[in-house]
Amino acid sequence: MRDSWYSDDRDLVKWGAVVYLATREQLGAVVQVAMFRPGKRVTLDTKSGMITVPEPVWAHFRDLRGIRALGEAVGLEISIIDDEFASKQRAVYFKRVAEGLRRVRGPKVVLLDPDTGFEPGKPNANHVTSSDLRTTWDALGAGDWLLLYQHRWRDTRWKEDATSKFRRACGGADVEMFRASGSPSDVVLLGARKVESQ
């Protein structure tokens, strides 16, 4: 996720679904796999010349780790895997993600948080692949949930197609969809609970 897209209406849907699910399922931990990609720093044109936005301002509006305060407010432990993501190194990245998830004790929700969700064709840094999702799924314990942030594709059947792809990557698990009742209507979260037999 690009830090410049942090804290928009889609994040309200995303984190609303995460907190709802964790509360409903009585899961105390949330792990966000941020697939972090730093954005370009904003500059200001002043009478003294070009300046970069001061670090405290940038940190206040662009710090992904700020989500931990939400966890404190709702009684969840939110941790973030915020290693920088590069598409060409995705296998290495997701291997490290899997290793990190195996160290988290207790039932949890894991949020895969790419910019746009599954790739509709050829993947780039905005996307997660079925292989990435399967690597993450395989690292989960029984009772854990996996959520995927999914943005609309140009295809009108995008929700159905993304759900089918998610189900296959999760070994045929039942999939639950979370979405806004109004706007924004261009994102959903797809979720599945891992059971012992999978």
Residue 6: what pLDDT?
53
Of residues 89, 159, 169, the one with CA closest to residue 137: 169
- pLDDT, tens digit, 9 for 90 and up, residues 105-158: 889 999 999 988 888 778 889 999 999 999 999 999 999 999 999 988 888 888
* DSSP-assigned letters across all residues of 12-78: HHHHHHHHHHHHHTT--EEEEE--BBPPPPPEEEETTEEEEPPHHHHHHHH-GGGGHHHHHHHT-EE
Whether a cis peptide bond, with omega within 30° of 0, leads into 184 is yes
Structure tokens of 83? 């290693």
Q: Domain count for the chain, please give it.
A: 1
- pLDDT, tens digit, 9 for 90 and up, residues 15-63: 899 999 999 999 989 999 989 887 777 788 888 888 887 777 766 666 6
Residue 69: what pLDDT?
74
For residue 23, give its domain range. 3-193
Give the burial class of 52: count Cβ atoms within 10 A of its Cβ; 0-12 exposed, 13-18 middle, 19 or more buried.
exposed
Q: Is residue 59 part of a domain?
A: yes
* 31 in Cβ contact with 188 (< 8 Å): no
Domain of residue 94, CATH code: 3.40.50
- pLDDT, tens digit, 9 for 90 and up, residues 50-82: 888 777 776 666 666 667 777 777 888 888 898
Total number of residues shown for the chain:
198
